Structure 1
Amino acid sequence: MFLVSCSGSEEEGQSSFSFWRRGDDREKVDIPASFTEASARKMGQQLDSIFTHLHKRKGFNGTVLVTKYDQVIYKGAFGYADFYRKDSLSTETAFQLASVSKQFTAMAIMMLKEQGKLQYDDSVQQYLPDFPYKGVTIRQLLTHRSGLPNYTYFSDELWPDRKKPLTNQDVVHLMVQHQPKIFYTPNTRFDYSNTGYCLLAAIVDEASGMPFSTFLRERIFERLDMKHTFTFSDDLTAYMGKFATGHTRGRQKRTTDYLDTVLGDKGVYSTVEDLYKWDQALYTQKLVKRETLEEAFKGSRTEKKKTEDYGFGWRIKALESGDSVVYHGGLWHGYTTYLMRNKKDHSALIVLSNLPNGSLQYLKDVQRFLYPIQPDTATIKDTKPAKVASAQL
């Protein structure tokens, strides 16, 4: 295991990560001769310098894990889980994933599709009979082409008791009762929608016969030995491990509110080490068949001018190096998250933060280091930051 760690948990990481070397159904990757223990260690040291710089100079507060050819070449933890208590972070600290949660919702839908319990082109009414908007399909919810209004906006007006938690079923009821105006006719264009993934979670409830949170825990998290991954609500209060508190830009604690109990578009908590297990599982057929997963990474946008595409819970884009990657970012109640995967070299960049101070705007510089246009020329820059795409929930 070629690992550089600044968190002091190196030995623990090695024992859990070795699990992924087993199994014959694993998708193979050609490892070049240039990828040696020495080169991997050097890359890890350089990454440590980059993230130490971001921590000291840009205020990065969070955890990070980087892989190459399935090997963890770097992991680290910088700053505090709770600024008031000065509780140091570790790579086993759980963070609210915000919109990175959407890929788990999409996986639940794909699993149910393989089981014959739903089809992508089924209408929402087949699972939520009172749903008032006609012509909306599961596929459109997955790819943000439904045209539905965003529940995080209309609930501000339609849910006056902010002390009462809002559930996915409550969101559906508000849409049935008040029928807030749609943004556009379904399947005419892409428009990022948290409502779509809230509805997908409600559909998982109906199609599977079990609560969405239970489905994720039993069918995904436990199956992949993701012991520090859970959903908001009761799971949060019962969790015995360490989790990070969301903060404002000024390092004040963020408190939970009535929107936190809506799942599907957000609401999953996890660690960088558990997300590595998730990343590695996607090179196997432990959850769904390989051809099923491939559809999640196919684009759906039809606009002539677009800089990136969207699959099922994943954004798709080309890096400056020419590599095509899938990724997602998230921002919610003091948490900023990012997960990027490159199938070409089985690499991943996983970054979790509980301080939305703009430090993750520099992730493009990290990407340039990992995937240089010309070898050995990428350096961390202290100039104008390159903004991270999709920093919204």
Structure 2
Amino acid sequence: MAFLRLQSLLTRCMAASAFCLALLSCSEDKKSTLFETMFPDNEGRELVVVPASFTPDSARQLGHQLDSIFSRLHKKRGFNGTVLVTKYDQVIYKGAFGYGDFQCKDTLTTESVFQLASVSKQFTAMAIMMLKEEGELSYDDSVQQYVPDFPYRGITIRHLLTHRSGLPNYTYFSDELWPDRKVSLTNDDVLHLMAAHQPKYYFTPDKRFDYSNTGYALLASIVEKASGVPFDTYLQEEIFEPLEMTRTYTFRPELAVQNEGIVTGYTGGRRKRTPDYLDTVLGDKGLYSTVEDLYKWDQALYTQKLVKRETLAEAFIGYSPGIKNEEDYGFGWRLKQVESGDTVVYHGGLWHGYNTYLLRNPKDHSAIIVLSNVTNGSLNYLKELRKFLYPAQPVKKDEQKEKIAAN
């Protein structure tokens, strides 16, 4: 069925390709931009022009290569988890390796549910963008407009989205200030601790980038204030249900491991991790999902089901250039140029035995979605996967001559 859908997509894109070629005959200088143009269909979906070289056979061959890569990663590096890879909107590979519970030998499937860790942040950012588009808030609003007794001045919603607030990390100061770790910590509790104890700023707002879990937990509280409903309810009703993400939900204390297909998290030594008092803070983490549901999320971002295209585009603008390895950060997404020269958006996550990764390349509508429940460093080898999927382009002879002449 996947290849029938691929053929259908290729048919739909033939007209777009013909349109490109007609325009090229008028202006050869526009070649580079025309082939990157997206063609919206009747439902507002962005369609990418699929090259003739991408056929069902080539997609099948790429799938076999990806299976070899992940099989080797599983055997040699201990990768334990699920994976789904797309190109031109089509699933070209998905697989599951290892166990959801090593004691029970519960085999993983692509429907297995994982804690998303910091991959959750992009959903928090989307909730903020949706409320902004509805006129319920502005990115330049101060935090005090939603949390009046918040003691840190000069911080805006935009600062929180882009990790430029300078706020101290609640996962650190809660260890010192929360009296009983057997009692779950909530977002309101974090706010109360900050109001009562006022842990010191790391730096003044907007001075620089500093990755902040506190900032995204605070954004979840702002979503509640602006929408008038609990954060988890807002995500469920406004994002998960419309996108039919039926196996995606926020953390709840009553969710026992293995309930509803949730896999167990393990350390690199396969020591079982269990939820603790910090798991009930949402916004920076706390979402559970599957690779199948995250594919629905990826595809929805090529439509206007959640926000307008112009609103989403703001999430992919970098606000802190050069923060790390020539990366940048938007609203809940990291931005990075890969070997092919394409700029991809991605995020990783690491929390309590879960290691997650979601990368999107808007140029060819491809995605890499990887969820692991063993934090043994195996996802560090995804750099090689990126090089395989987005290889450096060979330098043309004319370009080589220009470089030599320039030197």
- How high is the TM-score relative to the length of structure 2? 0.85
Quote the Cα distance in structure 1 between the aligned partners of 2:64 and 2:2.
Answer: 11
CA distance in structure 1 between the partners assigned to 2:347 and 2:327 by the alignment: 12
Q: Which residue of 2 aligns with 1:205?
A: 224
Q: Which amino acid aligns with 1:192?
A: Y
Which residue is 1:76 aligned to? 95
CA RMSD of aligned residues (A): 1.7
Size of the alignment, in residue pairs?
358
| Structure 1 position 183 matched with structure 2 position 214 | no
Specify the SS of the correspondent of 2:236: helix
**Which residue in 2 is equivalent to 1:51?**
70
Q: Which of 168, 177, 185 pairs up with 2:187?
A: 168
Moved more, 21-30 or 227-236: 21-30
Whether the aligned pair in 1 keeps the contact of 2:162 and 2:330 (CA below 8 Å) is: yes
Residues 66 and 74 in structure 1, CA contact (< 8 A), matched pair in contact too: yes
Mapping of 1:298-317 within 5 angstroms?
298-301=317-320, 307-317=326-336
- With over 3 angstroms needed to count, the CA separation of the structure-2 counterparts of 1:241 and 1:23, relative to structure 1, is farther
Pick one of 352, 358, 364 that aligns with 1:339: 358
Query: 1:123 maps to what in 2?
Result: 142
Instruction: Confirm whether residue 278 of structure 1 aligns to residue 297 of structure 2.
Output: yes
Per-residue displacement from partner, 1:168-187 (whole Å, max 9, x unpaired)?
Answer: 00000000000000000000
Letter in structure 1 aligned against 2:209: F
For 2:60, give the aligned amino acid. R
Offset of residue 245 of structure 1: 0.8
Query: Is contact 1:189–1:302 with CA below 8 Å preserved after alignment?
Result: no
Judged with a 3 Å threshold, the aligned counterparts in structure 2 of structure 1 residues 22 and 258 are, in CA distance, closer, same or farther, namely farther
Structure number with bigger Rg: 2
1:229 is the counterpart of 2:237: no
The structure-2 alpha-carbon separation of the partners of 1:304 and 1:327, relative to structure 1 and needing over 3 Å to count, comes to closer
Provide, for residues 139-173 of structure 1, a one-character-per-residue CA deviation record: whole Å limited to 9, x for no partner: 00000000000000000000020000000000000
Q: Which amino acid aligns with 2:346?
A: Y
Which of 257, 263, 268 does residue 287 from structure 2 map onto? 268
Report the alpha carbon displacement of residue 91 of structure 1 after superposing the two structures with TM: 0.1
State TM-score, norm by structure 1.
Answer: 0.88
Counterpart of 1:264 in structure 2: which amino acid?
G
Aligned twin of 2:266: 247
**Whole-angstrom distance in 2 between the partners of 1:96 and 1:133:** 31
Residues 174 and 87 of structure 1: is their aligned pair in 2 closer, same or farther, counting only changes over 3 Å?
same
Paired with 1:172 and 1:29, the residues of 2 have a C-alpha distance of 44
> 1 or 2, which has the higher helix percentage?
2
Structure 2 equivalent of residue 363 of structure 1: 382
CA deviation string 1:194-227 (max 9, x = no partner): 0000000000111000000000001000010000
Letter in 1 for 2:363: K
Q: Does 1:25 align with 2:54?
A: no
Q: How many angstroms does 1:75 deviate by? A: 0.2
Distance 1:302 1:51, change over 3 A: closer
| In structure 2, distance between residues paired with 1:136 and 1:128 | 12
1:62 to 81, 85, 88: 81
User: CA 1:76 to 1:289, structure 2 compared with 1: closer, same or farther past 3 Å?
Assistant: same
User: Is the contact made by 1:29 and 1:69 (CA closer than 8 Å) also made in structure 2?
Assistant: yes
- 8 Å Cα contact 2:187/2:282 also seen in 1: yes
1:157 pairs with one of 176, 180, 192:
176
